Structure 1
Amino acid sequence: MIGKLDPEDLALVVSRTGARDEDVVVGPGYGEDAAEIRVGDQSLVVSSDPLSLARERLGTLAVNVACNDVAASGADPRWLTNVVFLPDDDPETLDVVTQQIDDAASELGVAIVGGHSEYAPDLSRPMVTMTCMGLTDEFVPTGGATPGDKLVLTKGAGIEGTAILATDFSDDVGPNAERGESFFEEISVVEDARVCREYATSMHDPTEGGVVTGLLEMAEASDVRLEVSREDVPIRDVTREFCGAMNVDPLRIFGSGALLAAVPENDVSRVLSDLRDAGISADEIGQVSAGDGELRLDGERISDPPRDDLYHLWE
C-alpha cells in the first residue's frame, strides 16, 4: 500500500532514536516534520522527505517539499542534500530531474551540498529523497498550538494535488489542465512562513493527506482539539473542478503550497494583513480548543489520518 505508516507503526520507528544527545531539542515525533538541534546560540533545523509519484515535476516538488518543512519550523532553508534513484539507465530522466532540482534550489537560494545517485532496477519509477537544513533563532514546532489560538491557512487546499492532477492525469481532468499546471509555481511556503513565524505558536506544512491530515497532525502533536468548518477552508475553482472530475476530496489531497498556522487570537488580524501585504492570500479557518489530539471537521470527529485521495489513481 502506498502512503505514510499508520500512527502505531510510526510510533515504533520514532521510538528508536539511537544515542542520547543533549543538543537534540526536538527529535522524532508524530506530526513533527523537522528536528531542532542546538548549535551555539542558534538552532539547526533538519528535515528529510522522499518523493516518487509526481513524474512530470519530481525534482521541483522534492526541493520545495523539503524546504517547506524547514521553513514551517521557523528557519530559512539554506542547504540541501539529494539522493536520486533511477529504475534504469536513463540519461534523459536523470538530466530532467537534476535540472529541476537545480532550478528549484537556485530560485529559493538554497545550496545543494551533497547526496548520492544510483540505478535501482527494482524500482518502477524514479525516487528523490531530500534533506534540507537551515538555521533559526526560534524554532516553531507543530506541537505548539494552544487553546484559544485561531487557525490560519494560506493560499488554499489542494495546491500541490491540483498541480499533480494537471500533469500526471491531464487527459482526465478536462480542458483546463494547463491552468492547474501553473500551481507548481506556488508550491513553496517559504515566504508564507517568514510572515507567520513572527506570530505563530505552531506551523505545519500539509502534504500527504492534505489539509485534513495536516490539521490532525497538528492536533495530535499539540494534544489539543482543532475545530474547523469546511466552508471556511479556501478552495480554488480549478481545484474544485479537477477534484470533481476525479472524484477526490480537495481537503484530502496533497497540500503543499498551503501553510497551516496556529496564531494567538489577538494577532490574527495582523498576520492576515502582513500576508496580504506580501501578496499571499490567507483565511482564518477555525480555532484551537482544549482536547486530546483530535480534529472536528463540521462537527465530525476525526482521530485517524485519512489515506491521500490521489493514491488510488496511481494503483
Structure 2
Amino acid sequence: MIGKLDPEVLARVLSRTGARDDSVVMGPQYGEDAAAMRVGDRLLVASSDPLSLAEERLGTLAVHVACNDVAASGADPRWLTNVLFLPDDDPDTLDALTTQMDDEARELGVAIVGGHSEYTPALERPMASMTAMGLADEFVPTGGARPGDRVLLTKGAGIEGTAVLATDFRDELDFSADLLGRAEGFFDEISVVPEARVLRESATAMHDPTEGGLVNGMVEMASASGVRLDIDRSAVPVREETTELCAAMGVDPLRIFGSGALLATVPAAECDDALAALDAEGVPASEIGVVDESDDPGVAIDGELVREAIRDDLYDLWE
C-alpha cells in the first residue's frame, strides 16, 4: 500500500517524542508539517519529507516539498540535508538527481549542508528524503484557522500532480506535445516560498497541500484548527491542462498532489489586502471559502463533508 499512515497508527508515532525540551514551540502534531524550536530570540523551523515517485523530476520535487513546508510555517528556508537511497549504481540516475537538487537549491538560495547516500537494492526506484531548515520571527501553524477567516488558495489545484501526469504517464496520454509540454512546465511553479513571504504577515494558518491534494490539505487544516472549512468548488482555480489530463486519467484535480499551491486563512478584514499583495508579487490567488465554528471539524465542499484524510488519486495509477 502506498501513502500516509492511517490516523490510529500515526497517533502512536506522534505520541513518542523523546525527551522534554522547553525550547520546542511546535512539536509533532497531526496536520503540522514543520517543527519550531526557540534558539535565542528567533525560531528554528525544520521539516523532513521523503519522495520516491515522480522519478523524472524527483530531485526537483524533493527540494521544493521540504522547503515549502518551512516557508508555509513562516520561515525563510536556508539549509537542507539530503538523504538518497539508490536501487543500483547507475551514474546517470545519481547525476540527474543531484543536479536537479543543486539547481533548485541555488535558485532558492538554500545551502545543501550534508546528508547521506547509499545503494539499497531492495528498492525499485530512487528515494530522496530532505530536511529543510530556516529561521522565523513568528511561527504560522496549520492549526491556526479561526471562525470568520477567509480561505485563500494560490495558483491552483493539482499543480504538482499535473506535472507528474505529463511526465510519468505521458505514454498513456493522447495529447499534443504542446499541451504536455505546458503541463510539464508546472514543475517550475512548485515553490510557494514567494507567496508564503507575502501571506505570513496576515495569515492565521498556512499549509502546503501535497499528498492527497487540496482536499487532504484542507482536511488537515480543519482538523488541526478544530473548525470547518466551507469551500465553493467553483471558486477553486483549476487550469486547463490540469482539467484535461485529470479527465483523461480519471482522477480528481482536487485529490492529486498539490505542491505549488499555498492554502491560507486570513482575517476577513485583511482578505482584500492579502490578495492585492499577492497580485503585486505576480502570484495569482483566489478566495475559495470561509472558516466556520464547528464541533465536527472537516471540509464541506459544496455541502459534502470530508472529515478524514484521503488517499491520493494518483496512487492507483502507480499500483
Shorter-normalised TM-score: what interval?
A: over 0.9
Is 2:215 the partner of 1:208? Answer: no
Q: Could you report, residue by residue, the CA deviation over 1:110-138 in whole angstroms, capped at 9, with x for unpaired residues?
A: 00000000000000000000000000001
Distance in 2 between residues matched to 1:294 and 1:303, nearest whole Å: 4
For 2:264, the aligned partner's letter is A
Instruction: Tell me the equivalent position of 1:133.
Output: 133
**Equivalences for 1:79-90 in 2 at 5 Å?**
79-90=79-90
1:295 maps to which of 291, 299, 310: 299
Deviation at 1:293, TM superposition (A): 2.1
Deviation at 1:304, TM superposition (A): 1.2
Q: Could you report, residue by residue, the CA deviation over 1:97-117 in whole angstroms, capped at 9, with x for unpaired residues?
A: 000000000000000000000
Is 2:166 the partner of 1:166? Answer: yes
For 1:75, the aligned partner's letter is A
Instruction: Tell me the equivalent position of 2:17.
Output: 17
Distance in 1 between residues matched to 2:316 and 2:306, nearest whole Å: 21
Instruction: Tell me the equivalent position of 2:183.
Output: 180
Instruction: Tell me the equivalent position of 1:252.
Output: 255
> After the TM superposition, which of the residue ranges 130-139 and 173-182 deviates more from structure 2?
173-182
Instruction: Tell me the equivalent position of 2:7.
Output: 7
Distance in 2 between residues matched to 1:10 and 1:298, nearest whole Å: 29
SS at structure 1 position matched to 2:132: strand
For 2:265, the aligned partner's letter is A
Is 2:110 the partner of 1:91? Answer: no
SS at structure 2 position matched to 1:199: coil
Q: How many residues align?
A: 315
For 2:261, the aligned partner's letter is A
Q: Contact 1:157–1:250 at 8 Å: present in 2 too?
A: yes
Structure 1: runs of 5+ lacking an equivalent: none
Distance in 2 between residues matched to 1:73 and 1:293, nearest whole Å: 22
Instruction: Tell me the equivalent position of 1:226.
Output: 229
Instruction: Tell me the equivalent position of 1:242.
Output: 245
SS at structure 1 position matched to 2:47: strand
SS at structure 1 position matched to 2:124: coil
Distance in 2 between residues matched to 1:132 and 1:190, nearest whole Å: 13
Deviation at 1:207, TM superposition (A): 0.2
SS at structure 2 position matched to 1:47: strand
TM-score normalised by L of structure 2: 0.98
Deviation at 1:305, TM superposition (A): 1.2
Q: Contact 1:293–1:303 at 8 Å: present in 2 too?
A: yes
**Equivalences for 1:266-281 in 2 at 5 Å?**
266-281=269-284
SS at structure 2 position matched to 1:306: coil
For 1:120, the aligned partner's letter is T
Q: Contact 1:225–1:290 at 8 Å: present in 2 too?
A: yes
Distance in 1 between residues matched to 2:152 and 2:83, nearest whole Å: 34
Identical columns (%)? 68
Distance in 1 between residues matched to 2:153 and 2:130, nearest whole Å: 25
Instruction: Tell me the equivalent position of 2:108.
Output: 108
Q: Could you report, residue by residue, the CA deviation over 1:32-76 in whole angstroms, capped at 9, with x for unpaired residues?
A: 000010001100000000001011000000000000000000000
For 2:18, the aligned partner's letter is G
2:314 maps to which of 296, 307, 310: 310
Distance in 1 between residues matched to 2:145 and 2:250, nearest whole Å: 33
Distance in 1 between residues matched to 2:12 and 2:182, nearest whole Å: 42
Is 2:33 the partner of 1:29? Answer: no
For 2:292, the aligned partner's letter is S
Instruction: Tell me the equivalent position of 1:189.
Output: 192
> After the TM superposition, which of the residue ranges 78-87 and 297-306 deviates more from structure 2?
297-306
RMSD: 0.6
Distance in 1 between residues matched to 2:8 and 2:207, nearest whole Å: 21
For 2:299, the aligned partner's letter is L
Deviation at 1:158, TM superposition (A): 0.2
Q: Could you report, residue by residue, the CA deviation over 1:211-242 in whole angstroms, capped at 9, with x for unpaired residues?
A: 00000000000011110011111000110000
Q: Could you report, residue by residue, the CA deviation over 1:263-310 in whole angstroms, capped at 9, with x for unpaired residues?
A: 000000001001011000000000101114211111111111110000
Distance in 2 between residues matched to 1:281 and 1:6, nearest whole Å: 34
SS at structure 1 position matched to 2:206: strand
Distance in 2 between residues matched to 1:228 and 1:12, nearest whole Å: 31
Distance in 1 between residues matched to 2:135 and 2:159, nearest whole Å: 27
For 2:300, the aligned partner's letter is R
Q: Contact 1:172–1:245 at 8 Å: present in 2 too?
A: no
